[in-house]
Amino acid sequence: MNATTDFRERATAALRRCGADPAGPAGPADGDLVVTTPIDGSEIGRIRSHSPAGSDAAITTAARTFETWRDVPAPVRGRTVRRLGELLVEHKADLAELVTLEAGKIPSEATGEVQEMIDICEFAVGLSRSISGRTMPSERPGHRLMETWHPLGVVGVISAFNFPVAVWSWNTAVALVCGDPVVWKPSETTPLTALACDALLRRAARESGAPDGLHHLLLGDHTVGEALVDDPRVALVSATGSVRMGRVVAPRVAARFGRCLLELGGNNGAIVTPSADLDLTVRAVVFAAAGTAGQRCTTLRRLIVHRSIADDLVDRLAKVYAGLRVGDPFEEGVLVGPLISSRAHEAMRTALDRAQHDGGVLVTGGDRVDGPGDGVYVSPALVRMPTQTDVVREETFAPILYVLTYDDLDEAIALHNAVPQGLSSSIFTLDQREAELFLARSDCGIANVNIGTSGAEIGGAFGGEKETGGGRESGSDSWKAYMRRATNTVNYSTELPLAQGVEFG
């Protein structure tokens, strides 16, 4: 059995164990959407894309289901999510295998992504019994002033290839307990993982007594996602992708007065101070910069190091980089899998050429590495830059870490903030004043001390500022994006006093 056949059969077997039809719900296996694995470039499936009529039918059914689902008590809605979490535990290995096959992640990272799904289900089940409003003092006697939260409507989820299941689950688990059906447009690069998740959620809904039509897949290219963007029946569009994509989505949703939750680009930086624990710093930096082959929105791309320790830290990093094993993610000991496509490699080469033209010095990496078949493998690159040039200010979705130096912490924080993106950030220091100053001044949605920029837990709200889009998903009070707020005044007296002492009549 050759590798191509093996990967196809592994994907098909994992789908079937999850209860999914390998051909997909939209058509037969000779469909127009060809699914390949970045491991060797081979075909592992074919699916037929949804037509505009099919997209409309999915949204219509979801909108109709909302009329029923919103009236189901939240704790009862939580039973469906609880059952989904149980099924995710049962099929954890199957889903992780699909993530590795479609996205190229090493099994440990793929399994961790599925664990995120399980974690958010647990969070959402607790949320189903704790969604709360508030009561405020009324200025009028015999009156009660309060805020209540209500289901919003159909939620459209547009997800990217690099986290093919976790980001969907962040939105879907919370949306369901908030009373909202979901229509999901996954990346056309990773539709098999979506088929598996859809099958498991449909089973969870069926076994928990939830109504039909609670979840729908829209398979295809960006034109399929446009149905979610432009349809007024979709109350919230949660979109993860590039800044370019966000610039298109946001005004189109705003034009119909819909809501947007955007998770866009990240150009994440970390400051390393003279007091930092360099052993810890190296471990954190290498994972944040090279994990997932640099294809995370939270990947560390800029390392801002105090001049007094820069040479030492770069030497340490270069030694570790030289030992990173790059290759087939299924092989034992491999830590860096493939890039998603040859286009990603072209973007990486272009960025490195620009950096060197700007005076940057390539310390190590950046080379094409042999791998199976037509897979695109590269060694993570470490580049010392004299200044933060335009190429450093841009996000390149590949494993490139630019190293800059600073003399004063205020200078370092200003340098850190001087990029258009604002997702994740960190500082490595043993000085509490430095840590607190950074936390107060980092302009990112995520700011960490003595850990890297990637690997967020589901308990905290995830998202960023500036060109990252301003959205918040996952934990904390992110649930508010999936509900609408109402201010209520109840008069339980026999009088009718007006607010602000107004007299009328």
Q: Are residues 210 and 66 in the same domain?
A: yes
Q: Are residues 330 and 441 in the same domain?
A: yes
User: Given this model, what pLDDT does residue 22 score?
Assistant: 79
| pLDDT tens digits, 64-100 | 999 999 999 999 999 999 999 999 999 999 999 999 9
| Rounded percentage of the chain residues whose pLDDT exceeds 70 | 98
Q: Are residues 315 and 232 in the same domain?
A: no
Confidence of residue 25 (pLDDT cuts 50, 70, 90): low
Number of Cβ within a 10 Å radius of residue 430: 14
Whether the CB-CB separation of 194 and 18 falls below 8 Å is answered with no
CA–chain centroid gap for 472, Å, is 10
Query: What mean pLDDT is predicted for residues 26-40?
Result: 79
| pTM, entire model | 0.95
Whether the CB-CB separation of 134 and 370 falls below 8 Å is answered with no
Q: Indicate whether 450 pLDDT > 70.
A: yes
Q: Are residues 95 and 170 in the same domain?
A: yes
Q: Indicate whether 1 pLDDT > 50.
A: no
CATH number at residue 428: 3.40.309.10
What's the number of domains the chain is made of?
Answer: 2
Confidence of residue 400 (pLDDT cuts 50, 70, 90): very high
Q: Are residues 285 and 431 in the same domain?
A: yes
Q: Are residues 249 and 119 in the same domain?
A: yes
With a CB cutoff of 8 Å and minimum separation 6, the contacts of 383 are 352, 355, 356, 360, 361, 362, 363, 366, 400, 401, 402, 403
Q: Are residues 257 and 278 in the same domain?
A: no
Confidence of residue 31 (pLDDT cuts 50, 70, 90): confident
CATH number at residue 80: 3.40.605.10
Q: Are residues 258 and 307 in the same domain?
A: no
Q: Are residues 92 and 49 in the same domain?
A: yes
User: Given this model, what pLDDT does residue 26 score?
Assistant: 52
Q: Are residues 7 and 94 in the same domain?
A: yes
- Tally the residues of the chain: 505
Residue 210 resides in a domain: yes
Catalytic residue IDs: 263, 297
Residue 502 resides in a domain: no
CA–chain centroid gap for 359, Å, is 34
User: Given this model, what pLDDT does residue 5 score?
Assistant: 62
Range of the domain at 285: 268-449
With a CB cutoff of 8 Å and minimum separation 6, the contacts of 248 are none
Q: Indicate whether 28 pLDDT > 50.
A: no
Q: Are residues 40 and 187 in the same domain?
A: yes
Confidence of residue 505 (pLDDT cuts 50, 70, 90): confident
| pLDDT tens digits, 307-363 | 999 999 999 999 999 999 999 999 999 999 999 999 999 999 999 999 999 999 999
With a CB cutoff of 8 Å and minimum separation 6, the contacts of 44 are 7, 8, 11, 35, 36, 37, 101, 102, 192
CA separation for the pair 267, 137 (Å, rounded): 45
Q: Are residues 102 and 152 in the same domain?
A: yes
Residue 501 resides in a domain: no
CA separation for the pair 335, 292 (Å, rounded): 8
| pLDDT tens digits, 195-250 | 999 999 999 999 999 999 999 999 998 889 999 999 999 999 999 999 999 999 99
- Give me the chain's average pLDDT, please: 96
Residue 456 resides in a domain: no
Residue 277 resides in a domain: yes
Residue 296 resides in a domain: yes
Listed in order, strand segments (DSSP E) in 300-399 are 300-306, 361-364, 368-369, 377-378, 381-384
